[in-house]
Amino acid sequence: MDETNLNFRIKEMIVRRLELKHITPADIQDNVNLFSDAEIGLDSIDALEIAVGLEQEFEFPFKESDVPSLASINAITDLLLGRREE
């Protein structure tokens, strides 16, 4: 799967799992900080839900040390593709 498709699947998962009624996957920019952006404004509970979604939908073994990688769509994509910053 290419990065563009993966990014979109991640966005769809986030919008669906967090029941974001005011945002569509296309509204989320790949580099925007999901937790500080006023439009999106996710919180720590949302981060937990995203982590569970990654485990369930992408069969990704999420670890506590992966939490900083939830900051943006691109960071999540890098995490899933094994491009973690160590």
* CATH 1.10.1470.10 for the 3-80 domain, yes or no: no
- The answer to whether the Cα torsion of 45, 64, 73, 80 is positive or negative is negative
26-30, 32-36, 38-42, 69-73 — which is least confidently predicted? Answer: 38-42
Share of the chain above pLDDT 70, in %: 95
What pLDDT does 86 receive?
A: 43
pLDDT tops 90 at residue 5: yes
pLDDT tops 70 at residue 83: no
**How is the chain split into domains, by residue range?**
3-80
CA distances from 49 to 4, 32, 54, 82, 85 (A): 22, 19, 9, 21, 22
Q: For the whole model, what pTM was predicted? A: 0.89
